[in-house]
Structure formats: structure tokens, C-alpha cells
Structure 1
Amino acid sequence: MDGKIIRLRRQARLFLNRRVVVVLCDGRVFTGRLVIVRRNFIIIRVRRRNVFIRIRIPFIDIKDIDLA
């Protein structure tokens, strides 16, 4: 599990300030701009109902991160 988190953290740092697709373990998908990468979580900016909101996602819940 730790190897997966290290890989995701490294990948997220490369994608900082770019448009990404984040797939969670439960199947949900978020598309937005990667704003912040911290030790345990990322924050992406997503547009909902014509308003930008920030969503905090822990690395444990992330299955994959790709460029949009």
C-alpha cells in the first residue's frame, strides 16, 4: 500500500496545476485542476453548478491519476 501511495504522490507532483482525472477506489471519477499536493492528500478544483469548488482527496482513496 505504501508503494502505491508513493507512486501516486510522485505522479501528482508532476501533474501540479494541470487538468487531471482522478479515479477513486469506489469508482467515482473527478475531473479538475490539481491545485495542491500534500503528504497525505491532494486538492483539486472542480466546477459544480458554474461555481469552482475545491475537493480534498486522501491518497488512500485514490486508484489512479491521469491527465485529462
Structure 2
Amino acid sequence: MHQFPLKTPYASIIGYAKTICDRWNKINKVLVDMSGVGDYVVEDMINTGIKMTESVKFTQETKEKNGSMAQTMHD
């Protein structure tokens, strides 16, 4: 899981995700926080060719679940 700093330009986020997805063909899903302008980013990512992009509303529970999963993958 990669979390970008606040105020990171959307084009940088989309470019990063596109590069990773093109490089690693085994990515099944890209989750984007739908709060704020997340829907715009999701739409642009899909239009850029990152078809496996999905919006998700991150709650404390989903953050903890995904954080645990990322830590398990890292170990």
C-alpha cells in the first residue's frame, strides 16, 4: 500500500499507479479513497488505462484492515 503526502498533484499519483500497474502485471485492484476529489482521480485512472481501479470510502476500520494486510505482505 502506498500513501501519498497531502497536496501531491493528481497527475503524479495517476502516473505512479500507471507505472506500477504496467510494470507488475499481477495487480488485481487499485483502491482510491473516494472522499474529497477521489471520484475524479478514479475516473482519470480508468481513462488512463488502469481498469482495475475502484473507489472505496476509507474508514478507521478499513485503514486498520489494509494496514495489517500491507504489514503482512511487507514481512
With structure 1 as the length reference, what TM-score do the two structures score? 0.35
Larger radius of gyration: 2
With structure 2 as the length reference, what TM-score do the two structures score? 0.33
Bigger share in helix: 2
**Larger RCO: Structure 1 or Structure 2 (Cα < 8 Å, ≥ 6 residues apart)?**
1
Bigger share in strand: 1
